[in-house]
Amino acid sequence: MSQGAKGTSRLMIIAWLAAMVFIAVMFFGGSSDDSVEVATDSATLERIQPVGEVSVESAVASTGGTERSGEELYARCQGCHGTGAMGAPKFGSLADWAPRIERGIDDVLQVAIAGTGAMPPKGGCSDCSDNELKSVIQYMMESTK
Ligand code: HEC
């Protein structure tokens, strides 16, 4: 009985030592491996980052520099001009647009930029450029043909 107990405690000490060695190897060996990995990661990130910044900037610049089409932007005007709500000249209605086509697009554009009656300035499309607004008006005028 006591022999067996002694054997068990010796085994436990060996197991404990083995565990300590294992933990020590894991701790020191593992942490140095990790730091190498982290260093590689940040070095890689630093190398990639400038390229990523440049490509994001050029993407923003190219979308900012490209004009949206009248057809695309019409979605911003459709709420009123699609139905003729509040007396808005209705999309596709020659009766509504003819007098405005007669006045000329530049005059009509100036009115649209300033806002008129129930329509807010720029028809509510505050991020639309004058040229983009002109494209939408052209698109609506052409809808009458
Ligand atoms: C909130 C509703 C509303 C929205 C949104 C709206 N409009 Fe209008 N729009 C009107 C109304 C109402 C009139 C008529 C105003 C009047 O003659 O009293 C009008 C008139 C116009 C006219 C005629 C101006 C003139 O000289 O007679 C143009 C051009 C026009 N809108 C363009 C646009 C464009 C482009 C957009 C979208 C970017 C837009 N509108 C969005 C309500 C709207």
Closest atom of ligand 1 to CA, residue 108:
26
Q: Which tens digit of pLDDT belongs to each residue from 9-38?
A: 888 888 898 988 888 887 776 555 555 555
**Whole-number pLDDT of residue 139:** 97
Q: Which residue out of 81, 105, 127 has the highest number of ligand 1 atoms within 8 Å of its CB and is therefore the one to mutate?
A: 81
Segments of the chain with pLDDT less than 50? 54-63
Closest atom of ligand 1 to CA, residue 111:
26
For residue 123, how far is its CA from the centre of ligand 1 (angstroms)?
6
**CA 121, CA 132: separation in Å to the nearest integer?**
14
Closest atom of ligand 1 to CA, residue 128:
38
**CA 96, CA 85: separation in Å to the nearest integer?**
12
Distant-in-sequence, close-in-space partners of 141: CB < 8 Å, separation ≥ 6: 97, 100, 101, 105
State both tokens at 12. 């436990």
**Whole-number pLDDT of residue 22:** 86
Q: Which tens digit of pLDDT belongs to each residue from 107-117?
A: 999 999 999 99
**Whole-number pLDDT of residue 61:** 42
**Whole-number pLDDT of residue 120:** 97
State phi, psi for 108 to the nearest 5 degrees. Answer: -65, -40
**Whole-number pLDDT of residue 7:** 74
